[in-house]
Amino acid sequence: MTGEPCDTNRAVIRRPTRRFLRMAVFTAALAGVLAACTRDYPYNSLAPAGPVAEKQAGLFWLVFWIAAVVFVLVEGALVYALWRFRRRSTDDRPKQVHGNTRLEIAWTIIPALLLAGVAVPTVGTIFDLAESPPGAMRVEVVGHQWWWEIRYPDLQLVTANEVHIPTGEQVVFELTSKDVIHSFSVPRLAGKQDVVPGRTNTLNFSATEPGTYRGQCQEYCGLSHAYMRFRVIAHEPADFEAWVQSELAQAAAPEAGSLAEQVLPTCLACHSINGVEGPTGPPQTPAPDLTHIGSRQTIAAGKLPNTEDGMATWLRDPPAVKAGSKMPDYNLTEDEIDALVEYLRSLK
């Protein structure tokens, strides 16, 4: 404020009230920002649901607030300088200052120290997250164009596009790819690691609460990169055991003589159904395991809902749903589609 006397009777808003209002607006804005940022959107990395995501979010907030303070100070100084030193007359001839060594040293050292300070928790967390707990359950994730093969080597289980884990327990994910680089990303639990052909990468995390946590491929992998989603479903340990048991059960073959029985061999050239042998033996081309397809929340790697309609849409013309799909259009009749849908939805 300038040196003019403040006529408190005539001022529209009194100074203390103005200050209070400024604080109120600022706090409301801050609260609004925090609330917006932490809303439980399905892929919101700032609404963590597991210890790994919490640590990642924690580091983010730490650095964010430091950056916010730096931002306010520096941009504020910039705006102030622009206002204070604006040209007031064409004869303005400012002093030709060339530099100030002490100031320059200070503004080299202080940011360096700030960064060094930030580096400490960062490096600590890097090593913390890289530790694989011994004896943890392992899940192998194999990326394909454009679906996720999920294997539980210790449990002899295979599924696709859904990962079930028990809550409160670290799980070690071993990630690799059969074709190109993908990225296994589940923001609310653990960020991501890339899925690289020829290498096995590791991601360790756990979920705190039961729930469904959405994931997606986050490394460009071709035409249907946008439609390569997956879900991590966390269960209470008892429910997880139940899930394992039901997954281990074999599937029933289709009724003898049914339309589904006639069409199924085509599928079994690529898909596996535990308990139903294909005419040519094990599948030649990798495709999602269908043993318990009926119990999944979505199909086509999260592109379609697991409903009669959804499944029928897929079977009618896979490349139309997912461009470049390795599963071609088999020109199935509507009856064949209905029969298959009924059979597959029975595989719970």
Q: Give the Cα-Cα-Cα angle 331, 334, 336 (nearest 5 degrees).
A: 80
Q: Which of 23, 24, 223, 249 binds other proteins (CB under 8 A)?
A: 223
The amino acid at 37:
C
218 binds other proteins (CB under 8 A): yes
Nearer to other proteins, 10 or 98 (CB): 98
- Stretch of 17-25, 160-168, 210-218, 264-272 contacting other proteins, by CB under 8 A: 210-218
Q: Tell me the C-alpha to C-alpha distance, in Å, between residue 313 and each of 194, 307, 308.
A: 31, 10, 9
Q: Give the Cα-Cα-Cα angle 237, 241, 247 (nearest 5 degrees).
A: 140
81 binds other proteins (CB under 8 A): yes
34 binds other proteins (CB under 8 A): no
Task: Please state whether the peptide bond connecting residue 146 to the residue before it is cis, i.e. omega within 30 degrees of 0.
Answer: yes
- Stretch of 14-22, 39-47, 265-273, 275-283 contacting other proteins, by CB under 8 A: 39-47
The DSSP secondary-structure symbol of 346 reads T
Half-sphere exposure of 98 (CA within 13 A, CB side): 0
Find the binding residues for other proteins in span 124-163 (CB under 8 A). Answer: 125-127, 129-130
Q: Which of 3, 5, 16, 99 binds other proteins (CB under 8 A)?
A: 99
Q: Which of 8, 96, 245, 331 binds other proteins (CB under 8 A)?
A: 96
87 binds other proteins (CB under 8 A): yes
Continuous segment of H or E residues that includes residue 299: strand 298-299
Q: Which of 19, 28, 42, 297 binds other proteins (CB under 8 A)?
A: 42
Burial bucket for residue 256 (CB in 10 Å: 0-12, 13-18, 19+): exposed
The DSSP secondary-structure symbol of 87 reads -
174 binds other proteins (CB under 8 A): no
Nearer to other proteins, 9 or 90 (CB): 90
- Stretch of 83-91, 132-140, 249-257, 339-347 contacting other proteins, by CB under 8 A: 83-91
183 binds other proteins (CB under 8 A): yes
288: nearest Cα among 307, 272, 308: 272
197 binds other proteins (CB under 8 A): yes
118 binds other proteins (CB under 8 A): yes
